[in-house]
Amino acid sequence: MESSESEEDDLSSRCLDIIFRKAKPSESDDVFRIYNDSIEYLDKESKEWIESIIRKRSRRARIYVAIVDEKVVGFAIVYKKRNNAYIDALAVDTKYRGKGIGSCLLSYIEDILSREGVEKVYLTVKNHNNKALGIYIKNGYRISNVIFILEARSSDIDVHTENLDKISIKVDSVKKSSFPKIKLLDTALWSNFTWDVDEAIYRMSKEEAINIAVYNGKRFVGVAQISVEGNKITVERLAISYYKPSESLKILINAIKLHMDENSEVSIVIPVDSTKSSLLKTLISIGFRIIDSEYVLHKYLSIEEHQAPIPITL
């Protein structure tokens, strides 16, 4: 117990020399530089996308920075939805790692979120990032489940669906698209936090993505938000109807294939929670294979631990 208190006191003293606040548009270059230096552990994003999040000034999506000697040395991208939150990315400048800055930034974010009524925080860690995994576990996070990254070449996908004559597909830019606002089954946890606010960010940025919405008669089957880079299709969000979800998934995968040029060989990448066992089984049965994975971690924010006023640098 004494050792634990000593570690907390040591961390608190180190945090006193760091300024934490929301990022400014002028700091997007610094955030992007740190992001790129950490790309091995993060998903690919552009400077334009980072700047758009900052300029959006949304309460649902924000970027916080850690500043030492007037220099941005770390950042975190945070999404909030009602009483839950998701830390999409957290990284520290390579020259400042090993100084506890990441833990200080994490603690600051948790304090902010707790004050806003957030009860549970989620984040993901790539399976080879053991150092970050250890840090999060040390800070009270627990592993909830795993997100599998699945991939298939279009020519390897063998999908058969019934009543194709009733299927209609609507393809549009994410900036213009619309579909019924009904409850859908998302294949990946982060989509629950990000998809709607990301669409708003897309509308104010130069970034582009495509929404493929599928109907079976009048029934909405699902939607796939995809980005295309060369011969690779990344499914950023895949959400399907709760009615016959496995069949809906096959229909949506078929729609993605049909959207692409039949003469070109493309690979399709989809993230799926390990808890969605029937969807995983369906994807593997039609030609997808697991190529990577990420740990999903969570932490409950204790109200008692955050009752004392904490000075916040704005």
- Retrieve residue 263's tokens: 């003469």
Distance CA 209, CA 213 (A): 13
Tens-place pLDDT, residues 216-256: 998 999 999 999 888 999 999 999 999 999 999 999 999 99
Q: Is the pLDDT of residue 299 over 80?
A: yes
pLDDT at position 262, please? 62
Looking at residue 233, its pLDDT comes to 93
CA nearest to 38, candidates 79, 76, 93: 93
Q: What domains sit in the chain, N to C, each tagged with a CATH number? A: 2-144+296-306 (3.40.630.30), 158-286 (3.40.630)
The answer for residues whose C-beta is within 8 angstroms of residue 130's C-beta and 6 or more apart is none
- What are the pLDDT digits (tens) for 15-58? 888 999 999 999 999 999 999 999 787 787 888 999 999 999 99
221 membership: H or E segment, kind and range: strand 219-229
Instruction: Give the tens place of pLDDT for each residue, 254-265.
Output: 999 888 766 578
* The two structure tokens encoding residue 121: 């925080």
pLDDT digit string, tens, across residues 138-154? 999 999 999 999 999 99
| pLDDT tens-digit readout, 50-101 | 999 999 999 999 999 999 999 999 999 999 999 999 999 999 999 999 999 9
What's the rounded mean pLDDT across residues 164-188?
Answer: 84
% of residues, the chain, pLDDT over 90: 70
Which residue, 304, 273, 295, 280, is CA-closest to 152? 280
Average pLDDT, the chain: 88
This model's pTM is above 0.75 = yes
